[in-house]
Amino acid sequence: MTRAAASARPALRPELCKGCNRCVDTCAQGCISPGGEVDPLTGLVPIDLSLDACTGCGLCVEACPEPWGLRFDDGAPPPAAAAAPRDLPGEQLPLPGGGALVLKGAHASAIGALLAGCRHFFGYPITPSTEGAELMARVLPGLGGHFVQAVSEVAAVNMIYGCGGAGLPAMTFTSSPGFSLMLEGISYLIGAEVPGVFVDVMRAGPGLGNIGPEQSDIKLLCRGLGHGNTRAIVLAPATPQEMLDFTLLAFRLAFAYRSPVMIAADGYLGQMTGRVHLPGALVRPGLPAWAVHGDAAHRPNLISSIHLAEVDLEAHNERLQAKYARMIDAEQRADLYRCEDAELLLVAANTPARMAKGAIRALRDEGIAAGLFRPQTLWPFPVRALRPLLERTAALLVVEASDGQLEDELRLALSHAGAGAGIPIHHVRRMGGVLPSQREIVAGARAALAGRARA
């Protein structure tokens, strides 16, 4: 307390006085004067106090910028240490079964978020991701939730930081240019270990580009989540059903790892309508022990990514590295289609993976043993599932709607794993809002195998 009983008098430990002298002139009784001696502990010159005439008015205390500088000793005992907060677990509430729903990918993802217990959406409209946001805007108010259209993607990601920091599931829908704007904030989320789910409905770039589908952000998602040593799980759905399932999963992973989780969707997938089954339960979220929730239990907590001392920041980085290692170990996911006997392995994610599936059927009809290796996590790349397939593989064919961003992930993963040496890697790529067509993939596959025959 600044003020105290009239009889009380200010007290000062000289080593806590910085000698700013802001208090000196406030004392009408002249009790305070600039000091004359350097304090040996601080090297500063504290004030001189002589309190004979002090009336206890407290103006000097109000003038002192130091919390434990000039003050009335209120005699209050130091507060008892608060009990350490505990995790309040979430709950699964059963959903009645029913028939299949017919949903757009973006809507399926939004519904996944709602079923994951997300009641907070923060975003900025950007095509082709707006359908997801619009569903949230329609539904959230009726469920006691909050939809905030932020002033920009920069604000949106920081609202997620606040809401996630408070321990609640929060999300956004965005598309490539908006995702670029969010990267600084995502680095803060990773650094401060704040959960949040980002659905990036990737569109064609660079720059304003167009609103056609592209897998344009794979390098950002896997290698470029803002500044610093950042990594986050990147889920890559290929169907409306996976848009729902992966969004649900993303929230679970975000809280399990205290980390943002990315969902890489492409423009087609957001717009694609398909068959979607709801899960058997929805989630009522809990409240993690680490949250800064604004209540007594969580008062001791701090959400922050600043570690001023190099040793502290390095230790923090080491902790994050250990977390990334756990993700690499536990979260690799892949879908294998007709890989059992495949000598040509197509590698593709998102909608291009479906074009690739169509091509595989056509290739099989021609007698070519082709299979599809579909990473469902772009990071960590599911190299563990790929490795055993390589023994039979004569060639890899990466099918993607980008300039080779998926292929780079594949090559890095193979190289780190010391696998795949000698297996040629071919590609079918489209850019600019165009997906590789089945016909192009079939032609690419034939060429890949013909190349091998010549070699």
Partner 1 sequence: MTTFYRRFERHDHAAGLKGETTHYCPGCGHGLIHKMIADAVEALGVQDRTIAISPVGCGVFLHYYLDVGNSQASHGRAPAVAIGHKLANPDAVVVSYQGDGDLASIGLAEILQAAQLALPITVIFVNNAIYGMTGGQLAPTTIMGQKTATSPRGRDRGMGQPLRMSELIAQIDGQAFVERVALFDARQRKRAARAVEKALRLQVEGRAFSFVEVLAECPTHLGLTPVEAERWVKEQMVPVFPLGVKKDLGADAAPPFEWPTPSFDPGRVLAALGGPAAAPERFCDGFPRTAFGDDVGLKLAGAGGDGAQTAALLLTKAAIQEGFDATHIPSYGPESRGGTSYADVRIAAEEVLSPAAPHPHVLVAFNAPSLARFGPEVAPGATVIYDSTVVPAPASLGPAAAVIGVPCTAIARELGQPMVKNVVAVGAVLGATGLFPAATLQRALRQALHARPALLPVNEAALARGIEAAGRRPAGGTPTPDR
Residues between 116 and 155 with contacts to partner 1, criterion CB under 8 A: 117, 119-120, 122, 139, 141-146, 148, 150-152, 154-155
Using alpha carbons, select from 133, 120, 115 the residue that is nearest to residue 168: 120
Kindly give the pairing relationship between strand 425-429 and strand 395-400.
Answer: parallel
Q: How far is the CB of 353 from partner 1 (least distance, A)?
A: 9
Check binding of 101 to partner 1 (CB under 8 A): yes
Count residues near partner 1 (CB under 8 A): 118
CA dihedral 372, 376, 380, 381 (to 10 degrees): 10
SS3 359: helix
CA 60/CA 28 separation, integer angstroms: 10
- Binding to partner 1 by CB under 8 A, coded x per residue (else -) over 259-288, reads ---------x--xxxxx------xxxx---
Residues 180-219 that bind partner 1 (CB under 8 A): 184-185, 188, 192, 212
Residues 217-256 that bind partner 1 (CB under 8 A): 240
Residues 57-76 that bind partner 1 (CB under 8 A): 59, 62-69, 71, 74, 76
- Exactly one of 231, 354, 426, 427 binds partner 1 (CB under 8 A); that residue is 354
- H or E segment to which residue 307 belongs: none
The Cα angle at residue 270 between residues 432 and 174, in degrees rounded to 5: 80
CA 137/CA 122 separation, integer angstroms: 10
- Exactly one of 5, 83, 84, 302 binds partner 1 (CB under 8 A); that residue is 302
User: What are the φ and ψ backbone dihedral angles of 132, each rounded to 5 degrees?
Assistant: -65, -45
Check binding of 412 to partner 1 (CB under 8 A): no
Q: How far is the CB of 16 from partner 1 (least distance, A)?
A: 5
Q: How far is the CB of 405 from partner 1 (least distance, A)?
A: 21
CA 345/CA 410 separation, integer angstroms: 12
Rank residues 413 and 441 by Cβ distance to partner 1 and give the closer one: 441
Rank residues 344 and 435 by Cβ distance to partner 1 and give the closer one: 435
- H or E segment to which residue 255 belongs: helix 240-257
- Exactly one of 9, 29, 42, 256 binds partner 1 (CB under 8 A); that residue is 42
Kindly give the pairing relationship between strand 196-202 and strand 377-379.
Answer: unpaired
Which of these ranges, 201-209, 318-326, 415-423, 433-441, lies near partner 1 under the rule CB under 8 A?
433-441
Can you read off the two tokens belonging to residue 377? 């996590």
CA 347/CA 394 separation, integer angstroms: 13
- Exactly one of 203, 231, 298, 426 binds partner 1 (CB under 8 A); that residue is 298
